[in-house]
Chain A
Amino acid sequence: QVQLHESGPRQVKPSETLSLTCTVSGGSMSSYYWSWIRQPAGKGLEWIGRIYGSGSTYYNPSLKSRVTMSIDTSKNQFSLNVSSVTAADTAIYYCARLYSSSWFIFDSWGRGTLVTVSS
């Protein structure tokens, strides 16, 4: 059973860059998509984007100009950067495995980490 764990600063100042890392254990990263999803307090889920084991990416157009994802399969990690953050980026950030067959499903999730944008 694959397990995921998010890590990174819990507080980021406005206009700076939010950086998170997801460490994957219990499975190979190479043949899967890996995703970030965020959830503002008391609100719904927003898909940020995905990265494949090869490094190819897709970003949600709503965030595309500010988001970068990377992957290091040798370390079993993938990462998220969100630049020029504002208070609207305050949320719980989840990393997840995005299983792809003829459909896409988030079949394994990290516990999530709350990131607060505040000076």
Chain B
Amino acid sequence: EDQVTQSPEALRLQEGESSSLNCSYTVSGLRGLFWYRQDPGKGPEFLFTLYSAGEEKEKERLKATLTKKESFLHITAPKPEDSATYLCAVSLDNTDKLIFGTGTRLQVFP
């Protein structure tokens, strides 16, 4: 069964304390992996798409990486405004649907 697992479920960081969020996947054929940010009560906001192992993308304090089994979202020197739930999703070769993980709820304290 195709599956996406995110860890940890929740993460509390001090402002400036770098860390990483994990998204592991077991799927039959990966077409792409997506990272989204979701603020409470709002729709997810697109961050990155990764297509092949070894690919990396950056945006401000965020960097996403991809291997054949997992993706990491690295947060460097986070600020309180980075607090949100980060969602990972994968698209598969034989379908037009996305499979979402349950998300990591990040809280950054000043």
Determine if chain A interacts with chain B.
Answer: no
Taking Cβ atoms with an 8 Å cutoff, the residues of B that contact A are none
